[in-house]
Structure 1
Amino acid sequence: MRQYSRFHIFTFLASTVLFCTNCGDKNKKENAATASKMKAEVIKPNDVIPFFQHWNLILGDGSNAGPAMDYVHKDFFYTTNDSKSDWVVFKTPNGGDTHGTSNNTRTELAQLKKWYPKTANDKLSATLKVMNVSATGDARVASTHSVVVGQIHSADGHENEPLKIFYKKFPGHEKGSVFWHYEINTKGGDNSGRWDYSSAVWGHDFSVVGAEANSYPDEPEDGIALGEEFSYQIEVTDGMMNLTFASEGHDTKTFIKNLVKSEYTTSGDMPEQTRKLFAPIGQDGVERATAYASEGLFFKLGCYNQTNGKSPEENQNWCSGAETHGGDIQKQYADGNYAEVWFKTASIIISNDAVSNEGYFIKND
């Protein structure tokens, strides 16, 4: 009787172990299948905006990730959904390694081709919303609490920027400002005298700053809030740059700028805004008569953080004195010391006359 019981007990236990093993194997297979399915269903940036073959992606650690096809980076470049739409997220800290000679970090697309304004028929359009700008920084510094979301950049000469589109919002304000800059293509071989002229779209322009490091100007009445959608369109044809800005509930704004004939060829042509901002720090040059006519230009799009940790004593317009936690990205993300921009749609048209922009990346990577 005792042996019979032991036999049955042994058989029962063996069957139980085999059953559990089979269950475990089945669960593992099901979990692996689920994980594989989830991995396959991950939405990549090029699933949302299918044009990344036209760009190199520069990341917030200064590296060049190349064309971002099927590419995701958890810290800088990924997708999200706001319950209505999918978005491509560009994110970058206040401080860290930078690309080229810039003082600022960026997660930004840089066009693989360049084109010349006289023969251009090139166009960039985007719909986006800014989700964060730096929580810290000296409010007297014009670039503090701002991010550039679109550019035209020169690949040649001084590598200056005939267009930068900014969003800027001071702490405690509900609404921020959208404005754009034209940077002169400085005459001669010395670029130290270069300066920007800022035009307001909604809200203030670049020149509106705080009276003290931690005090802020009045909030713009017609500004754009964090998380509020707006669109821009940049079109360059026959040497002219045409800009259109649109946002629901705001007046649509248009601008035009000649890129092949300068209006700033003498010191007397410097706008009053520029005299106040740039002349006091020695940036008081003049522009070559043909502006950017002889230089290859290219588009940029993304999140180019304009707030950094450099001392305002170095430059009162571009050095923010913000918190960077010694370049620790996660600490900066944890306490709001970063810029973040979401793009819902974007498109690019490239003219037949465009040529390779490889030389720019060789110089700057």
Structure 2
Amino acid sequence: MNKKIITLLSTFLISGALLMLNSCGNTTKESNKTETKKTVYASDVIPFFDHWKLILGDGSNAGIANNFENKDFFYSTDDWVVFKSPNGGDTHGTSNNTRTELAQIKKWYPATANDKLNATLKVMNVSNTGDARVAASYSVVVGQIHSADKHENEPLKIFYKKFPDHTKGSVFWHYEINTAGDDNSGRWDFSSAVWGNDFSVVGTDVNTYPEEPKDGIDLGEEFSYEIEVKDGIMRLKFTSEGHETKTFTKNLIESEYTTTADIPKQTQDLFVPIGQDGVEREKAYAGEGCFFKLGCYNQTNGKSPEVNKNWCSGAETHGGDIQKQYKDGNYAEVWFKEASIFISDAAVSNEGYFTKND
């Protein structure tokens, strides 16, 4: 074989080898490009979802939310679990308000309870429309205790509320009476301020807001709550860096509101004028199964304030179009960083609540 042929053959072999190597390299690059990032679910961030069913902002029950996400209402981002709910849309049960919220799958009885819920969160958005005279406008409930029985009232609701022109919002909690008798239309809430104002501080007209609270909480600022119910007593603790720690106690099995003379002034000013002037059964929530809720229960809605000046916000809902509401800020959004639940051995199934309300 002459030298010319040998040289050509060598060049051909080397070129072929380089081509093969380059081809392998391109295949690897293309393979890397098509690799998909592993989804991090909410249950990877806070692994306690076995204890809850998830209600979404379209009124549906998603069940136990392990390895689950819905980009409109519930998903994870970085090290947070996101709950999101529009001002208007389909609701769960008889509520006027949308919610993306966990509801405990067991219930417990206050007199024998030893049950706890802790959470660390930040509120990222509340509605930017609503009637400033309506107490519920611009607010979201981030934690609850709910009764599963009879009137299904709420011995605890933890609120965050911020008026549109303010930087700081308020954190407060409510006790709702467990109304005596069969007529629950006279039920009312009593509101206690944690940081900032309570529920009763409202605007003087539709778009005029009260003074901004000096000790309030910003959107995106972390705070924590701890709820413990033991032997009939509810104990609450609220903490946030740079703010005074606040604690409260409330008896859930002996009422302090059994006569009209017991109705506090806040209630006389806020609820009695609209006919919510009931009294509470002597044993309050004793004998009723109660359960925790956690998430984003939007308190702003599109119903006319003429229906109820405390709960009907007259906010923008775009006829229930969720994406339009999200685009112009008419929604609530809450991020949870940590949460834990302790359930006593005496707790029993709460399936009856879901059967009734789903």
TM-score range, shorter chain: over 0.9
Matched, 1:74 2:78: no
**What is the distance in 2 between the residues matched to 1:322 and 1:207?**
19
Superposed CA offset, 1:297-323 (max 9, x none) = 000000000000000000000000000
**What is the distance in 2 between the residues matched to 1:281 and 1:297?**
28
Give the aligned residue type for 2:116.
K
Give the aligned residue type for 1:53.
D
Give the aligned residue type for 1:56.
K
**What is the distance in 1 between the residues matched to 2:27 and 2:214?**
63
**What is the distance in 2 between the residues matched to 1:254 and 1:30?**
53
1:271 corresponding residue in structure 2: 264
- 1:90 aligns to what SS in structure 2? strand
Superposed CA offset, 1:111-137 (max 9, x none) = 000000010000000000000000000
1:55 corresponding residue in structure 2: 52
1:317-332 correspondence to structure 2 within 5 Å = 317-332=310-325
Percent identical: 75
Using the size of structure 1 for normalisation, the TM-score is: 0.91
1:161 corresponding residue in structure 2: 154
Matched, 1:195 2:188: yes
RMSD: 1.6
- 2:96 aligns to what SS in structure 1? coil
- 1:124 aligns to what SS in structure 2? strand
**What is the distance in 2 between the residues matched to 1:192 and 1:25?**
69
1:204 corresponding residue in structure 2: 197
Give runs of ≥4 in structure 1 deviating > 4 Å: 18-28
- 2:356 aligns to what SS in structure 1? helix
Matched, 1:299 2:292: yes
Distance apart, 1:25 and its partner CA: 6.3
Give the aligned residue type for 1:243.
L
**What is the distance in 2 between the residues matched to 1:346 and 1:68?**
15
Distance apart, 1:79 and its partner CA: 1.1
Give the aligned residue type for 1:285.
G
Structure 1's unaligned 5+ residue stretches are: 1-14
1:15-26 correspondence to structure 2 within 5 Å = none
1:44 corresponding residue in structure 2: 41
Structure 2's unaligned 5+ residue stretches are: 1-15
1:1-150 correspondence to structure 2 within 5 Å = 29-32=31-34, 34-35=35-36, 38-39=37-38, 42-81=39-78, 86-150=79-143
**What is the distance in 2 between the residues matched to 1:31 and 1:165?**
46
Matched, 1:360 2:353: yes
Using the size of structure 2 for normalisation, the TM-score is: 0.93
Superposed CA offset, 1:138-179 (max 9, x none) = 000000000000000000010000000000000110100000
**What is the distance in 2 between the residues matched to 1:145 and 1:91?**
14
What is the aligned length? 341
2:254 corresponding residue in structure 1: 261
Matched, 1:280 2:282: no
Q: More deviation in 18-27 or 142-151?
A: 18-27
Distance apart, 1:30 and its partner CA: 3.6
- 1:181 aligns to what SS in structure 2? strand
2:334 corresponding residue in structure 1: 341
Superposed CA offset, 1:261-308 (max 9, x none) = 000000000000000110011000000000000100000000000000
Superposed CA offset, 1:83-135 (max 9, x none) = xxx11000010000000000000000000000000100000000000000000
**What is the distance in 2 between the residues matched to 1:334 and 1:248?**
31
- 1:304 aligns to what SS in structure 2? strand
